[in-house]
């Protein structure tokens, strides 16, 4: 199922299922089907209830509540509007590690964080901070956690995954490189666009079998495959949860392949008026315009 968080004409936030004919309000559908409506009142409620609580799509088509809202009448928000934490992985593709100048690929995952205030949704603007600190794009596969867990063995890691979505790990390279660590340059407001929807884990048999691309103004800048990850999703979940409790709604950004702007010759940084798209096979296209900060 493709799940969205959306705002409709009432201005309130809803949890919906994205269908070919529009967006179905899952809370309304649950009420009509006699299911626990509160579970489907928001993405956080659904995640907290356990990622296996889904409405059979066949049942959705049989309810009056499934008269879907056209996409033109809703605004898609970040699928997970306020994750508890965003755990990001650095240099997790061998080719990106090479282009960055690393002497060798990492022997264990490199972990950093992005603050949750950096979250943005599809079509939200990426805002270049004052001073224009060399803003770059990074196409990434995001893993959304659906169960609380600590010390999770890799063999059971997928039991803790709610789903997947495209993510853009936007980075202010000037600050990232000057600080000698990555949090400030990675955590500016709007620097973590996600969406357009969360695709539930049952829809993706293998998250390491997906094409991943980034485009700027229609020009392909990154063109790779999630099978090229150095550390795969189960390994990442095992490694992170060894020391950090993972909770429903947490996001793991699994790293980016080669082709980022900073290491091109000459470098290519985002500017006001650009449009960035992150596309992952079976997960959709995340599109964001770029604007300069006011003032």
Domain edges within the chain? 2-77, 86-292
Residue 207: its pLDDT value, please? 98
For residues 176-189, average pLDDT: 95
| Residue 62 pLDDT class (50, 70, 90 cuts) | low
For residues 256 and 170, is the Cβ–Cβ distance under 8 A? no
Task: For 96-130, write each residue's pLDDT tens digit.
Answer: 999 999 989 999 999 999 999 999 999 999 999 99
pLDDT for the residue numbered 51: 57
- How confident is residue 282, by pLDDT bands cut at 50, 70 and 90? very high
The CATH fold assigned to 86-292 is Fumarylacetoacetate hydrolase; domain 2 (3.90.850)
99: buried, middle or exposed (CB in 10 Å: 19+, 13-18, 0-12)?
Answer: middle
CA 223 to chain centre: 18
The radius of gyration computed from the CA coordinates of the chain, to the nearest angstrom, equals 19
pLDDT (average), residues 172-180: 95
Q: How far is CA 236 from CA 38, 60, 138, in A?
A: 32, 35, 19
pLDDT of residue 31: 86
> Is residue 82 within 8 Å of residue 47, measured between CB atoms?
no
Residue 100: closest CA among 108, 111, 92 = 92
CA distance 209 to 199: 15
- Smallest Cα–Cα separation from 137: which of 78, 221, 227, 76? 221
């Amino acid at each position: 199922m493709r799940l969205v968080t959306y705002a409709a004409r009432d201005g309130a936030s809803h949890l919906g299922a994205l269908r070919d004919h529009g967006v179905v309000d899952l809370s309304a559908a649950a009420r009509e089907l006699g299911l626990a409506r509160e579970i489907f009142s928001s993405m956080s409620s659904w995640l907290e209830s356990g990622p296996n609580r889904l409405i059979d799509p066949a049942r959705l088509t049989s309810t009056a509540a499934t008269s879907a809202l056209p996409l033109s009448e809703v605004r898609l928000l970040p699928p997970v509007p306020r994750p508890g934490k965003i755990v990001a992985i650095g240099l997790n593709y061998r080719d990106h590690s090479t282009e960055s100048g690393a002497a060798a690929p990492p022997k264990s995952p490199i972990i950093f964080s992005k603050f949750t205030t950096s979250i943005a949704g599809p079509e939200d603007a990426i805002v270049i901070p004052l001073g224009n600190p060399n803003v770059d794009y990074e196409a990434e596969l995001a893993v959304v956690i659906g169960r609380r867990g600590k010390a999770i063995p890799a063999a059971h890691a997928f039991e803790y995954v709610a789903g997947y979505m495209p993510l853009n790990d936007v980075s202010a390279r000037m600050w990232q490189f000057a600080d000698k660590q990555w949090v400030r340059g990675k955590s500016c407001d709007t620097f973590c666009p996600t969406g357009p929807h969360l695709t539930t884990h049952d829809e993706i048999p293998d998250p390491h079998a997906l094409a991943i691309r980034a485009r700027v103004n229609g020009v392909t800048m990154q063109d790779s495959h999630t099978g090229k990850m150095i550390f795969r999703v189960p390994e990442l979940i095992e490694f992170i949860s060894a020391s950090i409790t993972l909770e429903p709604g947490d996001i793991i950004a699994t790293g980016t392949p080669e082709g980022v702007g900073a290491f091109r010759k000459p470098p290519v940084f985002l500017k006001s008026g650009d449009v960035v798209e992150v596309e992952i096979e079976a997960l959709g296209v995340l599109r964001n315009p770029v604007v300069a900060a006011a003032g």
